[in-house]
Every structure is written in C-alpha cells, then in structure tokens.
Structure 1
Amino acid sequence: MESTPKDAGHCLAGRREWVGLGVLSIACLIYSMDLSILFLATPAIVADLDPSASQLLWINDIYGFMVAGFLVTMGTLGDRIGRRRVLLIGAFAFGVASALAAFSSTAQQLIVSRALLGIAGATIAPSTLSLIVNLFKNEAERNRAIGVWGTAFSLGGLIGPLLGGFLLQHFHWGAVFLINIPVMLVLLLVAPRLLPEYKSPDGARLDLASVLLSLATVLPIIYGLKHMAADGFEFRHLLPIAAGIFVGWLFIRRQQTLSHPLIDLKLFRIPAFTASLLVNLAGMFFVFGVFLYQNLFLQFVLGLSPLEAALWSVPSSIVFTVMSLQAYRFTNRFGPVRTVLLGLVVNAVGTLTMAVAAWFENIYGVLGSTMIIAVGFVPVVLTTTGLIVGTAPPERSGSASAISETSAEFGGALGVALLGSFGTLIYRWLMDGVDVAGLDPVQMAAVKTTIGGAVETARTLGVDVLGQAAVPAWLEAARQSFSNGFALSCLLASATLLALAAVAREIYARAHIDEKAIAAAH
C-alpha cells in the first residue's frame, strides 16, 4: 500500500509498533550510555592500566569502529534470520563482553573487550533504524519515531555521565560496564514478547569476503593514522594506510559484481542521498570529537571529579534531549534542506565560540557553546537521516537505512580518532620545549605525550591535581597545551562545517529535491 495523504490513516501504527519502538529505544540508550560513560572513565582507566597514547585512543574508539565495520553485515544477517533474533543474540553477547571489559587488568585486554563490545553493539544499534522504517509506514509517524530514536541517544548522553560519575566516585571503573548486564537481561526477557519479528522474504546471502574486505579497509587506515599522531610521522605508518586504501578499492570492485552487495553503491549516484550522508557523517564526526575533548578538559584541565564533570554537563545534555523531541518542528517549518543548511551554520557558530572558550579555559563558555551546538546538530542529524532514507528509492530503503547508520557510527568513531590525534599532535608540539627538569626519563615522556600522562605523573608526585593548591609549571603548561589543541580542533571544525554548508547547498540545489514527494513516496 502506498503511503499517500489519502490512505495515510490506513497505515497508522498500533500499540505493538509503539511498544516495539520503546524496546528499540532502550537498545539505543544503552549504546549511547556506553560511549558517554567511557569518556568520564578515561582518567580512572589511565591511572589503573597506564595505557600508552595510542592504546588510550584505541580504548576510546575501537568500539565505534567495530560497530561501523560490522553494522551493514549484521543488517544483512538480520534480513536473513530475523532482526529480532539478531538483536537478542547481540544483547547476550553485549552482556558477556561487558563483563570481560569490567574485569580487564591490562590495556590490551580492555581494547580486545571493547572490540567484542563493538561487534555485539553492531547487532543492536544498526537494526533500530531499519526496524523503525518497517514498523512505521506512515511518514509523519516515522518522523516522530525517528525523533524518539534520537532522543534515546540524547538521554543516554544525559544519564550516562550522571550514572557513570556516581559509579566512578564510589566504585572501580569496571562498574561502568557492569551496569550494562542487567539491562541486557531485561531486553532478553521482554523483546521476544513485545518486539515483532521482521525477516525479508528474499534476504540477501551474507558475503563473508565483503565483510573481511570492509574490515581490512577501515582498521589499517585508522591504525596508521593513530600511530602517526601518537609517535610522530614515520614512513612505516604510511604502509597500513596504503594497504587499507588498496583493500578498499578491492571492496568496491567486489560490490559492483555482486547481485546482493554488502553496500549498494548505486545509492551514491543520487546527489541528495550522497550530500545528506556526508553532512550526517560530518555532524557525528565533529560532535563526538568535541565531546571527547570537553570531558577531558573538565577533568584534566579544570580539575573536576568525574561526578562534578557529569553534573556540569547536565544542562547541555538536557538541551540535546529537548531538541531531539522537537527537531521535527524545525523540519516542518523550514523544510528538510533549509533545516540542514541552517543547522550547519548554527553548529559552526557553536564550535567557533567553543574554540574561544577553550583557549581561555572558561567552563561557562565551553558548556554554553555545547548548547549552541545542540541546537544546530540535532535537527541536522535527524533530518539528514530522514533524507537519506527518503531520497532513496522505496525498494532500497533498507539498504539506505544501513548505510545511514554506518555513516553515523563511523563518523562518531572517526571524530574521536582523528580529532583526538590532531589534538595529540598539537599537544606534543607545544610541550616539546617545556622545562621538565627534575623528572626521570619515563616521567618526562609521559608528561610530553598526553595530558593524561601529565596529570597522572603529578599525582604520583603527590600533587593535589583536584585541589586549588599550586601545581608545577610543567603541569600548567600541559593544561594550556591541551586547551590550545582543543581550541584549534574546534576552529578547524567551525571552518569545515561552514564549507560543508556551502557545498551541500549547491548539491541540494542541483538535485531539485521535491520534499513533498519524499513524504508521499514513503
């Protein structure tokens, strides 16, 4: 049945669909909580496991990269054996991996556990959007459902720091992973009864070669970039990057020959689809990268405890949550394209004010800028999600949903990795000439490599890094160097977002999007 204004009322969702949306939102909430909680737990992990600069980056972003790498794969598997079944398998695996992460005794074990969490998360997070598309046939209801879906992510960002801050204040950092287990158990109990199964009658056969090629494309490239940022430029770091690019070429060639490709490359011939995907990825890239900086800034530079940092972040998290629920009003008022373009400009203004606030180490400016970013970011991401699905042909909406979800997950993880690496380079450059006399060689290396290493070195020397007492000159220099790297990263984000708005405007204009037709067709 076509979803036209005339018959829209005949395809309205019932109680089962809305309850199913609630179950899917719980899964999104847990995924979002896991990311935000880890940001706060970073200082405690640094103190306990003493990871190197590259290991710390891997701990933060391996989860997101594994989700991105396996997301389309798990979507295809869901089409074959049932999305609800894959969701339940993922929930069980997520609980087991959470336990492994909680009891990790080395940085290497935590990285492996986080990788397993990412694979399990790829069975949870990606299935939500495609299930929503199948649950809600009416366009207006689907837009509202996507808003609820986005709200779950924002609530995770709000609840995660609060709960994580409390746990970190009173328990070992592993507790932030253990809280996933009871929630996964509840999901395993209620989902079979409340969530309807969906299985495509002609589900594509899973191509294992494509799965391996996609992973062999992403991970070597990120590995090379991360080690280049942590260890400085060396020719050997270009080898994995070149290998990843080559495998990526093989992956694309294979997709062109398959009747059921892992990624439908024909969708990228649609200008509006490609533009929306690029904007969606860039939005997630910069927001996740900036959020990592913000949490480290609050704790390492301003000396706040994890709980204090979480409490200071509550107002901006509330803005994100409210905007997720109200974003559809902006789209209805201005239309999808104008909403995206205006949102990018607002986002650029927010990152610009964030750069100024970070440079002067002003907490009110940093958190106020986060609220500005929320006002621009949330409508952009939710609207581009709708455009990605809406500009694709109806028979390809499932593939478009998977690509959209992959873009969001990959963009967030890439933002943490590349912006984090950029900040590390700035930090190392600014700290190169700082006087660290009195420290042994190991301490000198730690201080000049990362802000976390500098703060932890100060703690081992008996410095009250959370108090108001005088601190060594090298620690003040480390904090200023980190703040400057934070500011320059935000400045880069602002310029890129403005450039992206100009490019997107031209692409959307040439695409001649019929926004009313999108609603009628889907």
Structure 2
Amino acid sequence: MTRDDARVAEKVTIPYPRRWAALGVLVGSMLLLAIDGTVLYLAVPSLTADLAPSSTQVLWIGDVYALALAGLLVTTGTLADRFGRKRVLLAGTAAFGVASALAAFAPSAEALIAARLLLGVAGATIMPSTLSIIRNTFPDRAERTRAIAIWSAASGGGMALGPLVGGALLENFWWGSVFLINVPVVLVFLVSGALLLPESRDPRPGRFDLLSAALSMTAIVPLVYSVKHAIGSGVDVQAVVAVLVGVASGALFVRRQRRLDTPLIDVSLFANKAFSGAVLANVVAIFALTGLLFFFSQYLQLVRGLGPLSAGLVELPTTIASILVVAVVGVLVARLGTGRAVAAGLLFGALGLALIAAAEGADHHLWLVLALLPLGLGVGVAMTLTVDAVVSAVPTHRAGAASAIAETAYELGGALGIALLGSGVTLFYRASLDLPVDVPDPVRAAVEDSLASAVNSVGPDSALGHAAREAFTAAMQVTSLVAAGITVIAALIAWRTIPSGRKTGTATTTWTKE
C-alpha cells in the first residue's frame, strides 16, 4: 500500500449512516431513467400518426437516447470522480427535467430526436453517479450486493414498467405526456438528493484527457449508426466509412488508454477473463431485453389490437420478475456461485425469448404473459451479478470509472438491442411481406416502410393490413429466436470465464456529507 493509499484508508471509520435512505434516492433516479428508456415504446403508434416519422426516424427516436448515454458514460463517469458524484448527479437530474419538457412539446420527428439526444446527454451524467455512490456508500460486500440487486431491479423493472406507465398516460393524454411526467419527479429527486446523498470523489483524479473522451464517443456512435444505415439503405460507402471510423477510433482509444497514467478506462481490466465475461454478459442481457421490448409493445397494439394500458399490463410480468431477483439472487450465488448463477440467468432469459417466439403465434394473451416471466427473471439475475462483479473489481476511489464501464455495457446493450434486433425485425418484416403486384407504388412504399406506417395508410382490417400484421409477427418470432441463440452463447461464455467461488471481504471507502 502506498502512503497516499494509507491516508485514504485512515479516513474510513463507519459506513454512511443514512446509506439506505440514500439508496432510495439513487434507485428512484435509476428507475426514472430506465422508465424513460422504454416509456416511449407504446407511444410510437400515436406519435407516428401525429409526426409521421419514417421507419428510420422511429428507430432513431427509440435509439438515440441509449446511444447518447453509451457514448458519454465513460466521460461523465470520470467527471463525476473528479468533481463529485453527488454534484454531477444533481446537475444531470436538473438537465434531464429541462430536456423532458422539450421532448414533450416537440413539433416534428427531427425535433423529438434532438430532444431525446439531450435526454441521453443529461442521463449520462446521472447513471455513473448512482452506481459509484452505491460503491462508496456500501463498503460491506454483502450489503453492497443487496444494494446493487435493488438498483438492478430498478433498472430491469423500470424498463419493463415503462410501457405500463406509458400506457396509463396514453389512455388519457397525448404522447408528449410520457415525457412531461418526468418534470415533477425530477423536482422531488433534486430536493431529496440534496438532503440525503453523501458526496464523494477521487482524491487523486489526475489530468482529464479530452482526446480520450472524444475517441470513446467516435468509437461507439459510428458503429451503431452503420448497422442502422445498412439495414435501412443497404451496405454503401456511408456505412463502410462509419464502420472504419468506429473501428479506427476504438483502436486509437485503447492504445491511448494504455499509455495514460490516469486513463478514462483501465483497459488492462479486460485482460481478466472474469471481468470481460461479466461485461459481455451484461451487454447481452440488456441487448435481449431492450431489443425485444422496443418492438414487442408495437406488436401488442398493432397486431394484437390492445390499447396502450392493456399492452402495458401484458408486459407487467417482466417488472414483477425483475423485482423477484432481489429475493433469489443471494440464494443462487450461495448454491451455484457467481459464474454459474450468471450463466443460469442468461439461459433462463433465452428460454423466455424462445417461449415468446412460440407465444406470438398463440391466440390467448396468457401465453405471452407467462413467457415474459423467465425473461425478466433471467435478465435481472444476470444484470445484478455482472454489475456487482464489474464495480467490485476496482478500488473505491475509481468507482466512477468502473461504474462507467458497467453503465456503458448496460446502455451499449440497449442501443445495440434496438439497432440490431430492431433493424432485424424491419429486415425480416420486409422479407416476409407478400404484396400483390398491382399495389400502387405510394401504398407499397408505406406498407414496406413499417407496420405502423402500413396500419396508418391502409387500415388494420384491410387485406394489406392483415398481410403486414402477419409479416410483422413472423419477423418478431425470428428475431426473438436469434436473440435467444445469442443469449445462450453468452451464457456459455459466462460459465467458462466468471469464477463460481464465493467472495468475501469488505472494501474501504471515504465519504463526506455536504
């Protein structure tokens, strides 16, 4: 231990006395962000009728939020370590409220995409702070695992709860209400956060590297953009250039991190198979859940004919299963060990995806409801344990940077889920369409663009509307099975790379109250 490390350790006395009350604020903030990530899904049909976005714009409306988060989390996590996690969290929460108001009254698809981008930027300042404050506030490993399980339940449950909240609002108000509801909630969190949260920061943050921050963004954003562009417009020069920019930026970012004394991301951590396996498992778990929910909400309304609130209620089992994780995760780790428990969670999630593919062709909604239970439970278990493994891998003074890795995995999984699985649904939908040759070109273009566009153009009860619904159902089934296969592969990797031995011990931490 160095002399500086000894001085930091000497400051440790007792855990923060109001840590469970502070956890309530942090969980509330995370729940708000998670709900906002999916609350829009049920609003897609109504905003499509109002703003008339193209299929590509619909994907960007859903994806740009998570994409901005994924691109900025590394940078904002480091800034939180430097300037204070509580301070950065409260500033981001205030900005989130402003961006929500702008999204609520967006007059066009382009304006809504821009507002969602601002929401992502604001959210990126909140997410790493929540997890790093937990890391610092709960020095005891057992307490921290329980706290992260509750945090993960808010993350996974919030994603599933979003459609229910959106459905309740859309039954009575216009689509902008799913954003406007954030404003009073933000005000509550600003007051409670100022009173209850402890302040903490890295005592030796080092120099902030602006070039690394830029490279981290240009490594992620172009890659996701290239996938979306290739699916929508085919593989062309623009898509290839985006891939090259992303890969080159990623290589330069890794090379630079290896040379810096205080890197944005300690890339040497990825040499550890357990760490890399945990990050990969986290990405895939969120990839499967978010990618499915984005189009599942549209399926329930446009194919099954449910109203927004009824569709949200059908998705409620995912929320319930995510909450049950808090009760079962400790038992699973005790009996199976971390690695096997993560693998079991991912396999259970894959089973849920396969069941959803089968249930989408069934007549009764009950089968859909039952299929969502293993998906929510499996993803919740995998996410809780992988986040705990990532955050526990570093000293407390680097909690923000480690949290940024965990959160980047979370948001990158969400962004890739919508981009890849969402684009896959669009691709399979168009391939499954069997339209008569005499369909006029404008009508054909509308039907081929998306199911929402088809329903708005030709009506849900017409022959073309029926063909579009059949094609969308087939596309959802194929995509769910693809996601299940990817999740099985991730389960095997987690089983082979993440140790299953039990870990004990208490980490040291420093906190100050402001």
CA displacement, residues 310-347 of structure 1 (integer Å, 9 cap, x when unaligned):
12222332222222443233223322122112112212
1:516 to 499, 503, 511: 503
Within the alignment, does 1:454 sit opposite 2:448 as a pair?
Answer: no
Shift of 1:116: 0.5
1:115 matched to which residue of 2? 117
- Output the CA distance in 1 between the equivalents of 2:251 and 2:430: 34
- Output the CA distance in 2 between the equivalents of 1:138 and 1:333: 21
Aligned length: 498
1:223 matched to which residue of 2? 225
Within the alignment, does 1:472 sit opposite 2:452 as a pair?
Answer: no
Shift of 1:190: 2.2
1:91 matched to which residue of 2? 93
Shift of 1:13: 4.1
Indicate the SS of the match to 2:204: coil
Structure 1 contact 300–452 (Cα < 8 Å) conserved: yes
- Output the CA distance in 1 between the equivalents of 2:288 and 2:345: 14
- Output the CA distance in 2 between the equivalents of 1:220 and 1:323: 35
Shift of 1:395: 6.6
2:116 corresponds to which letter in structure 1?
R
1:489 matched to which residue of 2? 479
2:167 matched to which residue of 1? 165
Q: Give the direction of change, closer, same or farther, for the CA distance of 1:450–1:302 in structure 2 (3 Å limit).
A: same
Q: Give the direction of change, closer, same or farther, for the CA distance of 1:343–1:69 in structure 2 (3 Å limit).
A: same
Shift of 1:391: 4.3
Indicate the SS of the match to 1:241: helix
Structure 1 contact 94–117 (Cα < 8 Å) conserved: yes
Q: Give the direction of change, closer, same or farther, for the CA distance of 1:157–1:399 in structure 2 (3 Å limit).
A: closer
1:293 matched to which residue of 2? 295
- Output the CA distance in 2 between the equivalents of 1:367 and 1:499: 25
Indicate the SS of the match to 1:93: helix
2:36 to 28, 31, 34: 34
Indicate the SS of the match to 2:131: helix
Q: Give the direction of change, closer, same or farther, for the CA distance of 1:357–1:158 in structure 2 (3 Å limit).
A: closer
Structure 2 contact 33–123 (Cα < 8 Å) conserved: yes
Shift of 1:437: 4.1
Q: Give the direction of change, closer, same or farther, for the CA distance of 1:202–1:394 in structure 2 (3 Å limit).
A: closer
**Between the two proteins, what is the percent identity of the paired residues?**
41
Structure 1 contact 36–160 (Cα < 8 Å) conserved: yes
- Output the CA distance in 2 between the equivalents of 1:48 and 1:475: 19
2:195 matched to which residue of 1? 193
Structure 1 contact 102–177 (Cα < 8 Å) conserved: yes
- Output the CA distance in 1 between the equivalents of 2:500 and 2:178: 45
TM-score under structure 1 length normalisation: 0.90
2:444 matched to which residue of 1? 444
2:436 matched to which residue of 1? 435
Shift of 1:404: 1.1
Structure 1: state its 5+ residue gaps: 2-9, 466-470
1:468 matched to which residue of 2? none
TM-score under structure 2 length normalisation: 0.92
Structure 2 contact 102–115 (Cα < 8 Å) conserved: yes
Q: Give the direction of change, closer, same or farther, for the CA distance of 1:513–1:167 in structure 2 (3 Å limit).
A: closer
**Which sits farther off after the overlay, 236-245 or 194-203?**
236-245
CA displacement, residues 338-385 of structure 1 (integer Å, 9 cap, x when unaligned):
211211221221111111122446533222111111222211110111
2:72 corresponds to which letter in structure 1?
F
1:423 to 409, 415, 425: 425
1:86 corresponds to which letter in structure 2?
V
Shift of 1:297: 1.0
Larger RCO (alpha carbons 8 Å, 6+ apart):
2
- Output the CA distance in 1 between the equivalents of 2:506 and 2:441: 67
Shift of 1:241: 1.6
Structure 1 contact 427–449 (Cα < 8 Å) conserved: no
1:428 corresponds to which letter in structure 2?
R
- Output the CA distance in 2 between the equivalents of 1:269 and 1:449: 44
Q: Give the direction of change, closer, same or farther, for the CA distance of 1:315–1:221 in structure 2 (3 Å limit).
A: closer
Structure 1 contact 272–391 (Cα < 8 Å) conserved: no
- Output the CA distance in 1 between the equivalents of 2:182 and 2:26: 15
Q: CA RMSD in A?
A: 2.1
Shift of 1:409: 1.3
- Output the CA distance in 2 between the equivalents of 1:480 and 1:255: 49
1:182 to 176, 181, 184: 184
Structure 1 contact 28–125 (Cα < 8 Å) conserved: yes
- Output the CA distance in 2 between the equivalents of 1:425 and 1:26: 37
**Which sits farther off after the overlay, 275-284 or 351-360?**
351-360
1:487 corresponds to which letter in structure 2?
Q
2:497 to 493, 501, 507: 507
Structure 1 contact 11–138 (Cα < 8 Å) conserved: no
